[in-house]
Amino acid sequence: MSGMRFTITKRMALPCIGRTGVIQTPHGDIRTPAFIAVGTKATVKALTPEQIGATGVQAILSNTYHLYLEPGERIVAAAGGLSKFSGWGGPTMTDSGGFQVFSLGSAYKRGVTKVARDPLPELVEESGNSNRLARVDEDGVEFISSKDGSIHRFTPERSMEIQHVIGADILVAFDECTSPQDPRAYQEKALERTHRWALRSLQKHQELGGEQALYGVVQGGKYQDLREYSARTLAGYEFDGFAIGGSFTKEDIGTAVRWVNNILPEDRPRHLLGIGEPVDLFLGIENGVDTFDCVAPTRQGRTGALYTRSGRINIRNARFVSEFVPIDAECDCYTCRRFTRAYLAHLFRSEEMLAATLASIHNLRFVVRLVDTIRERIETGGYEEFRDAFLARYYSYSSA
């Protein structure tokens, strides 16, 4: 019996199937919909826990694969678990490690790579990708450490053991995240295996006990029948919630999410993995997503791409060097209250570390506040007006 509880507060009117609610965890509540910040290696890059909290972020998602390699799950456990180790203190989530492991595998060098190394020559071909650093079999996946080249094996059972020890509030079943370029035949085969791994993850999770919650992962690529089949299959298992994985094209997101959420049981939370562009947040929420995580706000911020109500700007652009106004005059973040575009431009041009900190604070606050406003508008009215005005302003400028 997990220590997580999900309560729905308000439902949107059809045709939307979105809702607001609260996910209660042993480390605190998450009001949904919510944007969850990514803290890959038990740190949201360049930010202290207080700086993260000040953006309104309610929970952090860390990566099992990275924490397993460094510092190792035993160190995190000995520190009292992820939330304590990182100093965050609030709700946390870990992914299964599947995305990172498979970005070395069938998806390696095909556009979803996160970690690069030379491939092991002896790795057997299965998906037709000769560059991969990981090999999938029925039992699990063998991969080469991006840290030191050593060989490791993840199975559903091992992923659950590691995640239990890391100690996040919400865990994710071990799955295979396929590449959009994989042929349909491979997608079908991988999906069946992901379903078997889901069951094995669940069984191991129940065996390990404790109050952590486990989410099953819906896959199925761009195929409606596979997505619906995946949702039906996982809906029959005793997961505490569901994550929606895989790559989407921009136009697909709302549609694919809806296929799935029309089937998933309404009383359990749904997390959309790795998605966080403003338009995607609206589409996801309208189609029943409760939580999101995405590296985009912080990663883009570190390159100088900053969000404003009127679209994204590149602060390295020459015109910002002498603009003595905040990044976004309507923003209430620390960066906008205290610093000018000119100072940010200077920090980026000087390659100062504070640039990454201030930009991450701003972009995180922007996205968190957007989702918070959506939640408020769903609860108190005026959602459509807010959405239409926001998107018209944000994207008209961006595409100009």
- Active site residues per annotation: 95, 293
One-letter amino acid identity for 89? G
Q: Which is nearer to a second copy, 206 or 322 (CB)?
A: 322
- Report how far residue 318's alpha carbon sits from residue 40's, in angstroms, rounded to the nearest whole number: 32
One residue of 11, 45, 109, 117 binding a second copy per CB under 8 A: 45
Closest CA to 101 of 136, 129, 49, 137: 136
Q: Which is nearer to a second copy, 47 or 172 (CB)?
A: 47
* Interface segment toward a second copy; rule CB under 8 A; list 73-81, 94-102, 110-118, 234-242: 73-81
Query: Is 185 near a second copy (CB under 8 A)?
Result: no
Query: Is 47 near a second copy (CB under 8 A)?
Result: yes
* Interface segment toward a second copy; rule CB under 8 A; list 29-37, 199-207, 281-289, 318-326: 318-326
Q: Is 228 exposed, middle or buried (CB count within 10 Å of its CB: 0-12, 13-18, 19+)?
A: middle
Q: How far is the CB of 50 from a second copy (least distance, A)?
A: 9
Query: Is 168 near a second copy (CB under 8 A)?
Result: no
Q: Which is nearer to a second copy, 48 or 262 (CB)?
A: 48
One residue of 7, 9, 10, 78 binding a second copy per CB under 8 A: 78
* Interface segment toward a second copy; rule CB under 8 A; list 67-75, 220-228, 249-257, 369-377: 67-75
One residue of 14, 124, 353, 400 binding a second copy per CB under 8 A: 353
One residue of 340, 372, 373, 397 binding a second copy per CB under 8 A: 340
> In sequence order, which residues have a C-beta less than 8 Å from that of residue 122 and are 6 or more positions away?
none
Tracing tokens 């952590």 back to the chain, one arrives at 212
Query: Is 332 near a second copy (CB under 8 A)?
Result: no
Q: Which is nearer to a second copy, 196 or 338 (CB)?
A: 338
One residue of 17, 57, 358, 367 binding a second copy per CB under 8 A: 358
Per-residue DSSP letters for 5-22? EEEEEEEPPTT---EEEE
Q: Alpha-carbon torsion 387, 280, 348, 333, what sign?
A: positive
Yes or no: say if 293 and 276 are a contact pair by the CB < 8 Å rule. Answer: yes
Query: Is 287 near a second copy (CB under 8 A)?
Result: no
One-letter amino acid identity for 377? R
CA geometry: angle 40, 155, 75, nearest 5 deg: 45
Per-residue DSSP letters for 107-136? TTTTT---S--PPPTTPPPSSS-TT-SEEE
Q: How far is the CB of 47 from a second copy (least distance, A)?
A: 7
Tracing tokens 């100009």 back to the chain, one arrives at 400
Q: Which is nearer to a second copy, 45 or 189 (CB)?
A: 45
Q: Which is nearer to a second copy, 91 or 326 (CB)?
A: 326
Using CB under 8 A as the binding criterion, the count of chain residues that bind a second copy stands at 37
- Report how far residue 158's alpha carbon sits from residue 180's, in angstroms, rounded to the nearest whole number: 27
x/- mask, a second copy, residues 112-131, rule CB under 8 A, reads: --------------------
> In sequence order, which residues have a C-beta less than 8 Å from that of residue 260 and are 6 or more positions away?
218, 227, 228, 230, 231, 242, 244, 270
Query: Is 322 near a second copy (CB under 8 A)?
Result: yes
- Report how far residue 14's alpha carbon sits from residue 18's, in angstroms, rounded to the nearest whole number: 9
* Interface segment toward a second copy; rule CB under 8 A; list 131-139, 157-165, 167-175, 336-344: 336-344
- C-alpha distances (whole Å) from 328 to each of 245, 339, 375 are 32, 11, 22
Query: Is 54 near a second copy (CB under 8 A)?
Result: no
One residue of 144, 275, 306, 347 binding a second copy per CB under 8 A: 347
- Report how far residue 131's alpha carbon sits from residue 115's, in angstroms, rounded to the nearest whole number: 13
One residue of 203, 309, 342, 373 binding a second copy per CB under 8 A: 342
Query: Is 380 near a second copy (CB under 8 A)?
Result: no
Query: Is 291 near a second copy (CB under 8 A)?
Result: no
Closest CA to 4 of 54, 68, 49, 59: 59
Tokens representing 387 are 């959405």
One residue of 41, 109, 299, 369 binding a second copy per CB under 8 A: 41
Interacting residues with a second copy (CB under 8 A): 41-43, 45-49, 66, 70-71, 75, 78-79, 85-87, 321-322, 324, 334, 338-340, 342-343, 345-347, 349-350, 352-354, 356-358
